[in-house]
A and B are shown apart, each in its own frame.
Chain A
Amino acid sequence: GAGVSQTPSNKVTEKGKYVELRCDPISGHTALYWYRQSLGQGPEFLIYFQGTGAADDSGLPNDRFFAVRPEGSVSTLKIQRTERGDSAVYLCASSFSPGESEQYFGPGTRLTVT
């Protein structure tokens, strides 16, 4: 079956611009997570959705970052006024339910801010 998909796979943007990153979870998965992976590091948690609502957004680094999941399926991570330090691979994962320990990861979006 289809796994988690993310678009675009690569995004290059100029400092100060706005970007949107999309995640399509596995069908039927109610929990959706966003992580950020910097070069040479492990993924770091950003935000977690259960259904349409953000259950935990404690990992968002500042108010330039925002994410939505309006219909409880596709999610969009939005970054305003991008900075060079935002350059990283943004990973999305989904799981069948919040109590399900296995998360399935997408291939990631590599964001480069020039």
Chain B
Amino acid sequence: KAGVTQTPRYLIKTRGQQVTLSCSPISGHRSVSWYQQTPGQGLQFLFEYFSETQRNKGNFPGRFSGRQFSNSRSEMNVSTLELGDSALYLCASSPTPGAWDTEAFFGQGTRLTVV
């Protein structure tokens, strides 16, 4: 069974631009969550999607958005990029959001550098 796939692996963008990151969850998994990882703030939850609906949202500005498609693939978008948005963006997939005691499987992440 293939794992969580995130594309692209690396990205360099200029301040003010926007970026879209993609995540394909494990086959059969319907819940996708996104996290931002930085040296200063650690791993922080961005949002979770299930059945094309956002179910949870972290404390990030509205410049961060996401969506999920009918095949459970998810994208996240960051508009008007700032230098502080430079981070590793991780996607995690889980079978369903209702099974609270199940692990989340992470992808390798997309390394975003804003210059």
B is bound to A: no
Give the interface of B toward A (CB within 8 A).
Answer: none
Give the interface of A toward B (CB within 8 A).
Answer: none
